Amino acid sequence: MPSRTTHYRCLPSPIGELLLTTDGDALTGVHMEPHEVRDGWRRDDALLGPAAEQVRAYFAGELRDFDLPLSLEGTDFQRRVWEALRTIPFGETISYGELARRLGRPTASRAVGAANGRNPIAIIVPCHRVIGADGTLTGYGGGLDRKRWLLRHEETVLAE
């Protein structure tokens, strides 16, 4: 089976430039700076137009739930964690332990944290909504300042 071409688009945002990727059928990545455009990838702003518009609407406070086809490649456990992340409502947070309990693996909070950290589709698969058991902001691939910004943004949108 031939390998699929990855298409990309760079998108400015309030938290820095985002790199959106697709396999042509579904969104495969939303990456924060620093990010890398790999050899062989093709820029295609039109193909990623719907994803870019939804991300822009999210940052404008006009969108709370994304409606995009996603392709999440990972282990079975990682995909279960990422699907569970998508059930956390806009503006709400849960702990890693709670997410592990929801998955039926109450002692797997560290494994949940590791899977969370490997989430390839930031913001849309809202890993920023997972916090420490004591309410502190912990571990975020995009950095804690971005996590804090995203959570405050959602809080502000809900308050309006």
Do 123 and 55 belong together in one domain? no
Distance CA 133, CA 9 (A): 36
Range of the domain at 83: 76-159
**Does residue 124 sit within a domain?**
yes
Do 134 and 80 belong together in one domain? yes
Q: Residue 96: its pLDDT value, please?
A: 95
Query: Residue 10 catalytic?
Result: no
Q: Residue 49: its pLDDT value, please?
A: 98
The catalytic position among 127, 130, 131, 150 is 127
3 state SS of 94: strand
Q: Residue 3: its pLDDT value, please?
A: 62
Distance CA 44, CA 27 (A): 13
Distance CA 90, CA 128 (A): 11
Do 96 and 152 belong together in one domain? yes
Distance CA 83, CA 20 (A): 19
Buried b (16+ CB within 10 A) or exposed e, 127-149: bbbbbeeeeeeeebbbeeebbeb
Residue 126: Cβ-neighbour burial (10 angstroms; 0-12, 13-18, 19+): buried
Helices 109-117 and 76-85 sit at what angle, rounded to 10 degrees?
A: 80
**Does residue 113 sit within a domain?**
yes
Each residue's pLDDT expressed in tens, for the chain with a length of 160 residues: 456 899 999 999 999 999 999 999 999 999 999 899 999 999 999 999 999 999 999 999 999 999 999 999 999 999 999 999 999 999 999 999 999 999 999 999 999 999 999 999 999 999 999 999 898 998 888 889 999 999 999 999 999 8
- The whole-model pTM stands at 0.93
Do 52 and 87 belong together in one domain? no
**Does residue 70 sit within a domain?**
no
**Does residue 86 sit within a domain?**
yes
Whether the Cβ atoms of residue 45 and residue 53 lie closer than 8 Å to each other: no
Q: Residue 1: its pLDDT value, please?
A: 47
Do 145 and 99 belong together in one domain? yes
